[in-house]
Structure 1
Amino acid sequence: MKPSKVAYRPVGLALGALSGLVAGTLFKKAWKMLDPNNDAPDATDEDRSWKEVLIAAALQGAIFASVKAAVDRAGATATRRVTGKWPS
């Protein structure tokens, strides 16, 4: 295994956990802007409409994917600065 990949592995795991926490917080704040009176619906929430559940899922997915991509990219860039190689 390449040294840059070995160096990136613990960084990637830590950043993955951090990105999940950040994305969860951002999603909750975004949902409060859309519906200040209710928490985001769960897929099995009987009292919420299909439309509302699917909008929440799409928003959550977009936020999680964007945060993960940004954090992964920042981690790879930092690894290159430290090791001189891009983790591939």
Structure 2
Amino acid sequence: MKALKIAYKPVGLVLGAASGMLAGALFKQAWKMLGHDKDAPDATDEERAWAEVLLAAIVQGAIFAGVKAAVDRAGAASTRRLTGTWPG
């Protein structure tokens, strides 16, 4: 059991990196669909309003959390199918 946890660590790291890239791409598309500028505002972007900066942060956070949870869950389920053990 402990060996599976150790073996799953690199897989989890790769999945985490992949989910971050996927979430970033999804956020860019979502931000465009919301009818805003091409790039989302940074918190220190002086020309952007508070509401726009906060909306961007909330949307980005929700997308990142959702994608991370989906990728982590799929990775764990795949590990169970391959090994018969949940990697928790």
Same fold (TM over 0.5): yes
Q: Which runs of 5+ in 2 are unaligned?
A: none
Aligned Cα RMSD in Å? 1.3
Larger RCO: 1 or 2 (CA < 8 Å, sep 6+):
1
TM-score of the pair, normalised by structure 2 = 0.93
**Number of residue pairs aligned between Structure 1 and Structure 2:** 88
Superposition deviation, residue 8 in structure 1: 1.4
Q: Does 1:64 align with 2:64?
A: yes
Superposition deviation, residue 37 in structure 1: 3.8
Show the counterpart of 2:19: 19
Structure 2 residue matching 1:39: 3-state secondary structure: coil
Of 65-74 and 37-46, more deviation after overlay is shown by 37-46
Q: d(CA) in 1 for partners of 2:29 and 2:68?
A: 17
Q: d(CA) in 2 for partners of 1:67 and 1:56?
A: 16
Q: Which runs of 5+ in 1 are unaligned?
A: none
Asked if 2 retains the 8 angstrom alpha-carbon contact of 1:7 and 1:79, the reply is no
Q: Percent identity?
A: 70
Map Cα deviations across residues 25-63 of structure 1 (whole Å, 9 max, x no partner): 000000001125442111000000000000000000000
Asked if 2 retains the 8 angstrom alpha-carbon contact of 1:19 and 1:71, the reply is yes
Moved over 3 A (4+): none
Asked if 2 retains the 8 angstrom alpha-carbon contact of 1:4 and 1:79, the reply is no
Of 7-16 and 59-68, more deviation after overlay is shown by 7-16
TM-score of the pair, normalised by structure 1 = 0.93
